[in-house]
Amino acid sequence: MAGVAGDARAPRVRSREVGAKDPTTALTSFIGRRQTVAALEAELRTSRLVTVTGPGGVGKTRTALTVAAGADMGDDVLVVELASVTEPSQVAPAVATALGVPDQSNRDAVDRLVDHLAGWRALLVLDNCEHLLEASADLVVRLLGALPELRILTTSREPLGIAGERVHLLAPLAVPDEAEASGTAALDHVPAVRLLVDRARSVLPDFAVTPENREAVVTLCRQLDGLPLAIELAALRLRSLSVSQVVERLDRRFTLLAGTDRSADSRQRSLRALIDWSHDLCGPRERLLWARMAVFPAAVDLETVERVCGFGELADDHLLDALDGLVGKSIVVAERDGEHVRYGQFVTLREYGAELLVSTGEAAELCRRHRDHFIDRAALSVRRWCGPHQAADLARLREDHPNLVAALAWSAETPGEAPAGAWLASLLRYHWIAGGFLSNGRRWLERLLGDLEPGTCERGTALWVTAWVALIQGDRAVAREYLRESATIAQQLGDEAMQGHVANWRALLNLFEGDLHAAIELYRQAIRLHRRVDDVASELTAAFQLAMAQAYADHPRDALRTCSTVVARASGEGELWNRAYAHWAAAISHLHLGDVPEARTAIAQAMRIEQDFRDGVCTALCIEVCSWVAASFGRASDAAALAGMAGSVWRRIGTALKAFGPHAFAEALRHAERVDEAIGEAQAASIRAQYGEVSVSDAVRLGLELLGGRKGAARARQPLAPPPPVPTVDASSLTSRERQIAVLIARGMSNRAIAAELTISPRTVDGHVERILRKLDFSSRSQVASWVAATT
Each residue's pLDDT tens digit, 177-198:
887 888 777 888 899 999 999 9
Q: Give the mean pLDDT of 494-505.
A: 98
Closest listed residue to residue 596, CA positions, set 780, 765, 710, 720: 720
185 with 192: CB under 8 angstroms?
no
Q: Give the mean pLDDT of 271-278.
A: 75
DSSP state of 107: S
pTM equals: 0.77
Return the CATH architecture of domain 731-791. Answer: Orthogonal Bundle (1.10)
pLDDT above 90 (res 733): no
Please give the residue that has the higher pLDDT: either 420 or 260: 420
Q: Give the mean pLDDT of 711-731.
A: 36
Distances (CA, A) of 491 to 455, 462, 499: 10, 16, 7
Helix (H) or strand (E) holding 738: helix 736-746
Q: Which residues contact 505 (CB under 8 A, 6 or more apart)?
A: 464, 467, 468, 471, 479, 483
Q: How confident is the model at residue 302 (pLDDT cuts 50, 70, 90)?
A: very high
pLDDT tens figures, 94-152: 999 888 887 777 788 999 899 889 888 889 999 999 889 999 999 999 999 999 999 99
Q: Give the mean pLDDT of 336-354.
A: 86
Query: With 0-12 CB in 10 A as exposed, 13-18 as middle and 19+ as buried, what is 309?
Result: buried
pLDDT above 60 (res 743): yes
pLDDT above 70 (res 356): yes
Q: How confident is the model at residue 8 (pLDDT cuts 50, 70, 90)?
A: very low
Q: Which residues contact 258 (CB under 8 A, 6 or more apart)?
A: 266, 269
pLDDT tens figures, 230-259: 888 888 888 888 999 988 887 654 332 333
Q: How confident is the model at residue 500 (pLDDT cuts 50, 70, 90)?
A: very high
Q: Which residues contact 389 (CB under 8 A, 6 or more apart)?
A: 381
When mean pLDDT is compared across 326-330, 707-711, 783-787, the lowest value belongs to: 707-711
pLDDT at residue 549 in the model: 97
With a pLDDT cut of 90, the percent of the chain lying above it is: 56
Q: How confident is the model at residue 759 (pLDDT cuts 50, 70, 90)?
A: low
| Topology given in CATH for the domain delimited by 282-361 | Arc Repressor Mutant, subunit A (1.10.10)
Please give the residue that has the higher pLDDT: either 142 or 10: 142
pLDDT above 90 (res 588): yes
Please give the residue that has the higher pLDDT: either 756 or 507: 507
- Please determine, looking at this structure, whether the domain spanning 13-169 carries the CATH number 3.40.50.300: yes
Please report the DSSP string for 119-157 in residue order. T--EEEEEE--GGGHHHHHHHHHHHHHH-TT-EEEEEES
Please give the residue that has the higher pLDDT: either 726 or 704: 704
pLDDT above 70 (res 429): yes
Q: Give the mean pLDDT of 595-599.
A: 95
Q: Give the mean pLDDT of 167-180.
A: 87
pLDDT at residue 789 in the model: 63
pLDDT at residue 337 in the model: 80
pLDDT at residue 520 in the model: 98
With a pLDDT cut of 70, the percent of the chain lying above it is: 86
Q: How confident is the prediction for the chain on average, in pLDDT?
A: 85
pLDDT above 50 (res 726): no
Where exactly are the structural domains of the chain? 13-169, 178-280, 282-361, 731-791
pLDDT above 90 (res 773): no
Q: Give the mean pLDDT of 29-38.
A: 82
pLDDT at residue 211 in the model: 92
pLDDT above 90 (res 529): yes
pLDDT at residue 756 in the model: 63
Q: How confident is the model at residue 74 (pLDDT cuts 50, 70, 90)?
A: low
Report how far residue 248's alpha carbon sits from residue 250's, in angstroms, rounded to the nearest whole number. 6
pLDDT above 90 (res 790): no
User: 51 — phi, psi (to 5°)?
Assistant: -115, 125
Query: Could you check whether 13-169 and 731-791 share the same CATH topology?
Result: no
